[in-house]
Structure 1
Amino acid sequence: MRIAYSVETVRAAERDLMARLPQGALMQRAAAGLAAACAGLLGRVYGARVALLIGSGDNGGDALYAGARLARRGAGVTAVLLAPDRAHAGGLRALRDAGGRAVPTDDSSTETVLAQADLVLDGIVGIGGKGGLRPDAERLTRAVRGTMVAVDLPSGVDADTGEVRGPAVRADATVTFGTYKPGLLIDPAHERAGALRLIDIGLAPHLPPVPDAEALQHGDIAALLPRPDAESDKYRRGVVGVVAGSARYPGAAVLAVAGALRGGAGAVRYVGPAADAVITRFPETLVHSGPPHKAGRVQAWVVGPGLGDDAVARQSLDDVLASNVPVLVDADGLRLLPPGDLRSRDAATILTPHAGEAAALLGVPRREVEQTRLASVRALAERYGATVLLKGSTTLVCSGSGPVRVNPTGTGWLATAGSGDVLSGLTGSLLATGLSPHDAASAGAYLHGLAARHATAPTGAPIAAYDVATALPEVWRNVLLG
């Protein structure tokens, strides 16, 4: 699992650790790891050309000390100083002692140095930086042609939120220290970070047990997935009810059921007007004309995909929300939600909006949700008293307390009609097996993303939503096998 902590928490942990170490030891640990990572990217250090973009903080000091280590191994290292009178004095001295050189930004060679470098270290702004790059720094980053490596995080992005409020570095790789920062995991900053490398500097014992954000990996998901035992039957494994589809959108019902059948529940009950389409594709489905409360017992409901907005759709949603089992609300169901929060329900609720639906629920422009994904998912969870799975380039899961889960498996190929219906069915099925809403949403998003990646491999060809559903058994197997 990748865990991430806020800047304030990281700073406190660093102060605690530095009080126990000789002066400068923590920066030397960071610099040693950074230099080793750069050496790995270069392949051959001797004779390589390395440039350092250096600001005024400790971030620049890390880069200067790492540059000194590379210079001692035979690299030609030049530091470009954006604030020469405020550059880290010890790091600058170490670089010069190792044979490196430093030039101010107005030196005539600066842009040539950056353009010809095999590798450039971004040490402009550290994790405490706010707002975009200043014009001089932005101009210099545009001159880079080689591999750009961000020190701790790309300059110009917000470490706590992943927001990008102006020009920012676009790195090929980011070497971060001690722990991940939320902004490295969450778009739009995440896609500017490139490949992530975490350097252990001894910070872990000084961090609190509960992080601000976390990204699950194969082992974490494998531990969550349901496994039937010798005494299991279809009812003990859980039954998920699906209320979806309409005369206009029967395919939404088919796709939601497709996801539900592959999510671990023992049976799927379908309620709605698309029963013929569902039973033709999936004869194992239990179908009922409705209303939902008369369809038979379920352990969880999925409601909303392709439901429409007529009186019958509203009645179906109200019926499901009145039940005493967990409910997942998606698509049209989100647009039909009654005013007020959902805390009065006897069981948990999951909402699964994309950015546009989230914007409507919050009453803000869609662009605001896309730029402030972490704040938006937290606001939705708080406002509605629900677990929220916010879909998008970075899918986030928030239950209002504890760490926000960041899904690492998504792909742009999931931006296709009906893929969200598959996710709803899959997540609802996991919910019916007994997983908590937080875990069901997290595992559903993870498997859904993996299935899309599997379906596009090895050619990278476009996929349809049903391809994602059919790939789920294989990726489930792969996760369990590790």
Structure 2
Amino acid sequence: MRIAYSVETVRAAERELMARLPEGALMQRAAAGLAATCADLLGRVYGSRVALLVGSGDNGGDALYAGARLARRGAGVTAVLLKPDRAHRGGLAALRAAGGRVVAAEADGTDAGRADAGRTDAGGAEAGGTEAGGAEAVVARADLVVDGIVGIGGKGGLRPEAERLVRAVRGIVVAVDLPSGIDADTGEVRGSAVHANATVTFGAYKPGLLIDPGHERAGALRLIDIGLAAHLPADPDVEALQHEEVAALLPRPTPESDKYRRGVVGVVAGSARYPGAAVLAVSGALRGGAGAVRYVGPAADTVISRFPETLVHSGPPAKAGRVQSWVVGPGLGDGAAAKHSLDDVLASDVPVMVDADGLHLLPTGGDLRKREAATVLTPHAGEAAALLGVSREEVEAGRLAAVRALAERYGATVLLKGSTTLIATEGRPVRVNPTGTGWLATAGSGDVLSGLIGSLLAAGLTARDAASVGAYLHGLAARRVTAPQGAPIAAYDVSTALTDTWRDVLG
């Protein structure tokens, strides 16, 4: 499992650890891991050109010490200082001693330390001299650029000088701890930000590395162990399940199981206008681990023609027969009959999964803690905005805050759909689903997800686990269908891929 901690928590842990170590030891550990990753990406270090974008914080120091290691291996390393008077002194000395060059971002190539003039680096340039064309030319010619502009405490987008240098990049970009311009605690981007090919983070993941838009800009993630784990609390701020955790949560029948013991999921979905929503929700439910699916609604004939194994009933839900969970909302409509069906389901004593039209029918600010069983809500950004009474733009700009607010306000487990799906339950770490793909942005895919989560609830998973496992399998199934190059998919393609996806996770 990938776990992430807030900036405040990481810094507190670093202070505890640094108090036990010789001065500078922690930065040296970080620099060693950063240099190793850069070397791996370069392939051939000797003779390569490396540019370091160095700000005033510890990330700049990490970059300088890593640059010194690469210079000793024969790379031509040039540090571009955005704030020459505030750059890390020890890192600068180490880089110069290794034959690296130093230029000021605003000085058009003028060296920040003329005392090094006359030494020659492995790339043939005079260490400490003038780099032809200035800082932008240094960055543009580099095979690899290390982003050490801003640390994890940075807020807001890049400053104009940094933005100008970043635009000049043509090579591989490796971010130190976090791409500059991204909020480490939320993944938000307020202005321009670095788009890295890889990010080397130290001690612990930060939430902004796992949540879009920050996640998308971080590239491949590499976590460097610097000895921080023992100083971090047991509960992280954000976590992301991996194959191993999902496989352990998947329901498995025993020799004594029958279809009722495995769980029955009830699906209240579809209408005369949207019968396909019922079909898609049932398709997801049939492949979600429960023993049987009971459909209630006006699309029974359409559902049976597609899935003859479905149990059907005309309604109301309370008279349809025993279930271990309900799915309500996809394609349900907004009339009186739809509202009655939702109220009927919410009055039950089993877990309920509410999506789509069901979300529109919820009373704004209604507290679902009064229910005897758990409730899962699965809004997209627009639906989340309506439930919170804010703009869609506000939700999209602060997805982590929005999903936490929804869970707290409604007393439910909330799955906020998006490029990275977030799952929040009050008092627990927010879960981030890492498997999604943009190809899932297609009509009906959410209906499949609803049925899948409802079936996992009926099979006995908690609301938080059912939502997390459902999102994980749903994303993997979509990737499976679009692989290897990526191609348009329909919602039903995702449901048909769930069986093989399930098998892959268990394998």
TM-score, structure 1 as length reference: 0.99
Matched, 1:429 2:429: no
C-alpha distance in 1 between matches for 2:105 and 2:156? 21
Matched, 1:134 2:159: yes
Structure 2 unpaired stretches of 5+:
109-133
C-alpha distance in 2 between matches for 1:107 and 1:295? 77
SS in 2 for 1:343: helix
Are 1:62 and 1:91, in contact at CA under 8 Å, matched by a contact in 2?
yes
Are 2:82 and 2:106, in contact at CA under 8 Å, matched by a contact in 1?
no
**Structure 1 residue 351: deviation in Å?**
0.2
Matched, 1:469 2:456: no
C-alpha distance in 2 between matches for 1:228 and 1:380? 34
C-alpha distance in 1 between matches for 2:427 and 2:496? 34
Per-residue CA distance 1:374-425 (angstroms, 9 max, x = gap): 0000000001000000000010000011110000000000000000000000
2:173 paired residue number:
148
Matched, 1:252 2:243: no
1:3 paired residue number:
3
1:455 paired residue number:
481
1:344 paired residue number:
370
Letter in 1 for 2:37: A
Identity of aligned residues (%): 83
1:297 paired residue number:
322
**Structure 1 residue 367: deviation in Å?**
1.4
C-alpha distance in 1 between matches for 2:478 and 2:316? 34
2:416 paired residue number:
390
Are 1:50 and 1:76, in contact at CA under 8 Å, matched by a contact in 2?
yes
1:69 paired residue number:
69
2:117 paired residue number:
none
C-alpha distance in 2 between matches for 1:284 and 1:459? 35
Per-residue CA distance 1:75-133 (angstroms, 9 max, x = gap): 00000000000000000000000000110012321111000000000000000111111
**Structure 1 residue 365: deviation in Å?**
1.2
Q: What aligned pairs does 1:15-26 form with structure 2 within 5 A after superposition?
A: 15-26=15-26
Q: What aligned pairs does 1:393-432 form with structure 2 within 5 A after superposition?
A: 393-432=419-458
Q: Which residue, 194, 212, 220 being the options, matches 1:187?
A: 212
Are 1:188 and 1:371, in contact at CA under 8 Å, matched by a contact in 2?
no
1:78 paired residue number:
78
SS in 1 for 2:257: coil
C-alpha distance in 1 between matches for 2:101 and 2:140? 17
C-alpha distance in 1 between matches for 2:161 and 2:353? 49
**Structure 1 residue 459: deviation in Å?**
4.2
1:32 paired residue number:
32
Q: Which residue, 243, 262, 265 being the options, matches 1:218?
A: 243
Equivalenced residue count is 481
Q: Which residue, 328, 335, 347 being the options, matches 1:322?
A: 347
Q: What aligned pairs does 1:308-319 form with structure 2 within 5 A after superposition?
A: 308-319=333-344
SS in 2 for 1:260: helix
**Structure 1 residue 458: deviation in Å?**
2.8
Per-residue CA distance 1:196-252 (angstroms, 9 max, x = gap): 111111111111011000010000000000000000000000000000000000000
Structure 1 unpaired stretches of 5+:
none
Letter in 2 for 1:406: V
Are 2:481 and 2:489, in contact at CA under 8 Å, matched by a contact in 1?
yes
Letter in 1 for 2:52: L
Letter in 1 for 2:382: G
Q: Which residue, 230, 237, 252 being the options, matches 2:262?
A: 237
Spell out structure 1 runs of 4+ moving beyond 2 A: none
Letter in 1 for 2:84: P
2:114 paired residue number:
none
1:282 paired residue number:
307
1:91 paired residue number:
91
C-alpha distance in 1 between matches for 2:483 and 2:498? 14
1:196 paired residue number:
221
Letter in 1 for 2:44: R
Per-residue CA distance 1:419-467 (angstroms, 9 max, x = gap): 0000000000001111000000000000000000001123422110000
SS in 2 for 1:34: helix
C-alpha distance in 1 between matches for 2:483 and 2:176? 32
Q: Which residue, 335, 346, 358 being the options, matches 1:333?
A: 358
C-alpha distance in 2 between matches for 1:216 and 1:461? 26
Letter in 2 for 1:351: L
Matched, 1:361 2:391: no
2:112 paired residue number:
none
- Which stretch shifts more, 262-271 or 362-371? 362-371
- Which stretch shifts more, 242-251 or 334-343? 334-343
SS in 2 for 1:21: coil
Are 1:59 and 1:152, in contact at CA under 8 Å, matched by a contact in 2?
yes
Q: What aligned pairs does 1:102-121 form with structure 2 within 5 A after superposition?
A: 102-108=102-108, 109-121=134-146
Letter in 1 for 2:479: R
SS in 1 for 2:41: helix
Letter in 2 for 1:298: V
**Structure 1 residue 368: deviation in Å?**
1.3
**Structure 1 residue 338: deviation in Å?**
2.3
Give the alignment's Cα RMSD to 1 decimal. 0.6
C-alpha distance in 1 between matches for 2:276 and 2:427? 36
1:377 paired residue number:
403
Letter in 1 for 2:213: P
SS in 2 for 1:242: strand
SS in 1 for 2:8: helix
**Structure 1 residue 299: deviation in Å?**
0.5
TM-score, structure 2 as length reference: 0.94
2:130 paired residue number:
none
Are 2:424 and 2:464, in contact at CA under 8 Å, matched by a contact in 1?
yes
Letter in 1 for 2:231: H
Letter in 1 for 2:91: G
SS in 1 for 2:382: helix
Per-residue CA distance 1:47-80 (angstroms, 9 max, x = gap): 0000000000101000000000000000000000
